[in-house]
Structure formats: C-alpha cells, structure tokens
C-alpha cells in the first residue's frame, strides 16, 4: 500500500524544521548506506547524530503522533528517528530496496523496516526532477508532494529518486515497524477503519452496526498485531 498523507507539518512547524536543518553542516549521503545503496546513491545528508537532526526529528515525531491518518495507515509500533537528505546538481538515488533492519548508530535501538516514509520539505515547483519512484504490486508510482506532506510505502519495494536538475530537493526520511507486519493485512485494516469512520459519521458512534464493525476491526487487529 502506498498512501500520501497531507499536512503532517503545519507551515509553522515546517519553517522550524527548515530553520534548524538549513543552518547545519551536511555530509556525504552514503554515511548511512548499505552496500547496494552506496552504489546507487548520490546526495547529501544531515549526520544523524547531529543536534540539528535530533531536534528536527523530534519535532517530526511529535507531528506524526498527532496525525490520525498516519497512525491508521501505518499502525506504528516503532519509528526510526527521521533522517534528512538533499539532492541538487543532478544528484539522484538509483533503484534499491531498503535494508530490512535499521539500527540507530551508537545504540541498541533497532526497527524492522516494514514501511518507508518520505516527508517532503521543499515545494515541488522549486526544483525539477527529484520524483520518488516506487515499484510494487500496485505498479509504478511517481511521487512529488508539497512541503509538509508525507508518503508511506512498503520498504520491500524497489524505489529510486530521479535526478534533480534544477534547484534542490530536501526531505526527511524514516522507517516504521508496524504492529501488523503483513502489508495485505494492514491494508485491509486501513480500509475497514475508513469504512467504519464513514458509517459512524452518518449513523453515529452508538449505532449497533458501527459498534459491530468496530469490534470486527479490533478483533482482526488483535489477531494480527505483534506488539
């Protein structure tokens, strides 16, 4: 399942993130790459241990916790602290698959990467190229969203970032370990949750059908959740 989630960051939060990261020193993006990624990756990255990355990442994590659509779609158990990258001057990231388990440097914090996420921090008309291209069972999707918007997609998918030929593309990226490992089960729960909310909006939360459907949702989550 690939889903775009609008307005994860408010304009004020986006400005705070940009002020924080734009003043920091950026490094070669291969600092966090696995072997396959290092062969395909040309970009710059904010060192994950830097004060700027930690401060901006904490703000994003707070925003994610307040985003009902993100929680419903990802059913997050653990979220890897956001990292930040930047592409310009023809830089790109060729086709690759994300590492299955991400370990935070200098700690024992680790995340099984069920989902990958990109939070766009640059307006799309300020740069050319830079589309995130995701290939999976749903076909090829090309994603280039407004600043503050998020896309979540299976970490198991082959994906790439197209060369940026004008301006620069700045984004946050991170991985999610979901309570529900299986993508198909997670998608069914998301669709069921959306349907329950639609029925409840007209019939009310106390309607017997809404109560039964809510029970079905939670009993399926109980069956599939690993937490």
Domain CATH code at residue 193: 4.10.860
What's the domain range around 190? 183-224
pLDDT at 41: 86
If one counts the domains in the chain, the total is 2
Cβ proximity of 213 and 205 under 8 Å:
no
pLDDT of 152-165, one tens digit each? 999 999 999 999 99
Give the pTM.
0.92
Both 19 and 118 in one domain: the answer is yes
Please tell me which residue, 139 or 93, carries the higher pLDDT value.
93
Both 214 and 134 in one domain: the answer is no
Both 110 and 63 in one domain: the answer is yes
Both 39 and 89 in one domain: the answer is yes
The set of residues, in sequence order, having a beta carbon less than 8 Å from that of 184 and lying 6+ positions away, is: none
Q: How far apart are CA 171 and CA 87, in angstroms?
A: 9
Q: What is the DSSP letter of 126?
A: G
Both 190 and 86 in one domain: the answer is no
3-state secondary structure of 24: coil
Q: What is the mean pLDDT of residues 174-181?
A: 98
Both 152 and 205 in one domain: the answer is no
- Is residue 50 over pLDDT 60? yes
- Is residue 139 over pLDDT 60? yes
Distances (CA, A) of 197 to 7, 75, 215: 20, 16, 13
Q: What is the mean pLDDT of residues 124-130?
A: 98
Both 39 and 115 in one domain: the answer is yes
Both 119 and 210 in one domain: the answer is no
């Amino acid at each position: 399942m690939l889903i775009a989630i609008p307005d994860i960051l408010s304009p004020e939060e986006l400005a705070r993130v940009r002020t924080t990261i734009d003043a920091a020193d950026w490094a070669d993006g291969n600092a966090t790459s696995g072997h396959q990624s290092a062969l395909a990756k040309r970009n710059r990255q904010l060192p994950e241990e830097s004060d700027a990355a930690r401060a901006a990442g904490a703000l994003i994590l707070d925003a994610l916790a307040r985003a009902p659509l993100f929680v419903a779609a990802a059913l997050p158990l653990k979220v890897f602290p956001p990292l930040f990258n930047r592409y310009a001057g023809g830089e790109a990231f060729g086709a690759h698959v994300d590492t299955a388990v991400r370990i935070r440097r200098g700690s024992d914090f680790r995340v099984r990467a069920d989902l990958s996420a990109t939070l766009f921090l640059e307006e799309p008309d300020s740069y050319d190229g830079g589309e995130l291209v995701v290939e999976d069972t749903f076909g090829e999707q090309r994603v280039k969203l407004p600043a503050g918007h998020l896309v979540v997609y299976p970490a198991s998918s082959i994906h790439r970032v197209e060369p940026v030929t004008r301006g620069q593309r700045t984004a946050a990226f991170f991985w999610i370990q979901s309570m529900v490992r299986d993508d198909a089960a997670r998608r069914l729960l998301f669709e069921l949750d959306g349907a329950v909310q639609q029925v409840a909006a007209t019939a009310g939360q106390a309607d017997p059908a809404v109560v039964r459907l809510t029970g079905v949702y939670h009993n399926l989550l109980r069956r599939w959740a690993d937490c």
